[in-house]
């Protein structure tokens, strides 16, 4: 009879996070497809013809999106904390309430809180891990990036989203759209785009706001009955934030958060399952 090998809790939690991510991705794509629309308003400026693109009003995303996102980040955060707890215990030390996976975007604070922690204070959250484990955890810290890139580090996004969900409020969801990657008139051959102007950064979609504008020129008269239309394509995703504040992370970022946690698990505690895990756990 084969020996039962329990699956570590942090693995189970990451599997759950992956399942949630797949669900959120699917549901958010459906919401964007069904609800995020734009309108095109012709406008003349002298002899020039322009098309002004603005967002239409849409029902806000279901608040349950914030619940799902909160559960996902909770599972990832908890998985990393449980991993450190196990590492400390297996290294012959006693983990406690202080034991958790640290996340720092400041080297000064890392040194103060972790490397040179005042012994009068509570123990370091990673006290008791091996020297190799300590070095690995240190190497994962967001503070190694340049200042402007640190807020977008997956671990910082994890920390910020976790703190909002646990201590403050339900995450609000909104749609963030990038600059259109394609603008075209259909059917082709009748209208030429002379000039176009769009925002150069990803912005949250708000009803009535201008997306951009296109200067057009009719180069051939279409046959009677031909319906001309403009088509735009671009990248849009659901983003999560504390109400009234800038977005912390988008749906695609949630996938990167899970990947960062998996990389940490595989680096600190390689585990060979007795049965295959779900693909892409």
Give pLDDT, residue 261.
95
**Is 279 inside any structural domain?**
no
**Is 280 inside any structural domain?**
no
**Is 153 inside any structural domain?**
yes
How large is the angle between the packed helices 251-268 and 154-163, nearest 10 degrees? 110
**Is 276 inside any structural domain?**
no
**Is 232 inside any structural domain?**
yes
**Is 45 inside any structural domain?**
yes
pLDDT at residue 6 above 80?
no
Q: Mean pLDDT over residues 69-84, rounded?
A: 96
What confidence tier does 1 reach under pLDDT thresholds 50, 70, 90? very low
**Is 275 inside any structural domain?**
no
Distance in angstroms (rounded) separating the CA atoms of residues 243 and 171: 7
Give the single-character DSSP code of 124.
Answer: P
Distances from the Cα of 165 to the Cαs of 24, 72, 169, 226, in angstroms? 16, 11, 6, 52
Q: Are 20 and 74 in contact (CB under 8 A)?
A: no
Structure tokens at 159: 């920390």
pLDDT at residue 240 above 90?
yes
**Is 281 inside any structural domain?**
no
Structure tokens at 189: 């051959």
Q: Mean pLDDT over residues 126-140, rounded?
A: 96
- Domain membership of residue 251 as a residue range: 9-268
Distance in angstroms (rounded) separating the CA atoms of residues 192 and 103: 52
Q: Whole-prediction pTM value?
A: 0.87
Q: Are 141 and 104 in contact (CB under 8 A)?
A: yes
Dihedral angle computed from the Cα positions of residues 95, 101, 105 and 106, in that order, rounded to the nearest 10 degrees: 10
Distance in angstroms (rounded) separating the CA atoms of residues 185 and 49: 14
Domain tally for the chain?
Answer: 1
Nearest C-alpha neighbor of 129 from the set 106, 102, 151: 102
Give the model confidence (pLDDT) of 146-178 as tens digits: 999 999 999 999 999 999 998 889 999 999 988
């Amino acid at each position: 009879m084969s020996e039962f090998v329990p699956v570590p809790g942090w693995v189970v939690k990451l599997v759950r996070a992956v399942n949630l991510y797949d669900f959120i991705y699917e549901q958010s794509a459906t919401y964007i497809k069904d609800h995020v629309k734009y309108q095109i308003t012709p406008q003349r400026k002298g002899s020039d013809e322009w098309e002004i693109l603005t967002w239409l009003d849409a029902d806000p995303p279901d608040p349950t999106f914030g619940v799902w996102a909160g559960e996902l980040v909770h599972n990832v955060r908890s998985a990393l904390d449980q991993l450190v707890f196990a590492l400390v215990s297996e290294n012959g030390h006693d983990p406690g309430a202080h034991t958790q996976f640290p996340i720092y975007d400041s080297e000064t604070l890392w040194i103060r809180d972790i490397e040179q922690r005042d012994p009068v204070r509570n123990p370091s959250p990673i006290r008791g891990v091996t020297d190799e484990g300590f070095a690995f955890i240190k190497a994962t810290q967001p503070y190694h990036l340049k200042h402007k890139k640190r807020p977008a580090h997956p671990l910082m996004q994890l920390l910020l989203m976790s703190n909002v969900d646990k201590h403050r409020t339900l995450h609000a969801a909104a749609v963030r759209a990038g600059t259109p990657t394609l603008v075209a008139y259909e059917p082709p051959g009748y209208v030429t785009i002379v000039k176009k102007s769009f925002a150069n950064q990803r912005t949250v979609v708000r009803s009535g706001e201008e997306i951009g504008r296109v200067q057009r020129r009719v180069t051939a008269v279409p046959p009677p009955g031909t319906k001309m239309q403009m088509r735009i394509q671009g990248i849009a995703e659901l983003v999560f934030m504390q109400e009234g504040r800038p977005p912390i992370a988008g749906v695609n970022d949630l996938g990167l958060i899970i990947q960062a946690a998996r990389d940490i698990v595989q680096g600190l505690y390689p585990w060979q399952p007795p049965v295959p895990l779900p693909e892409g756990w």
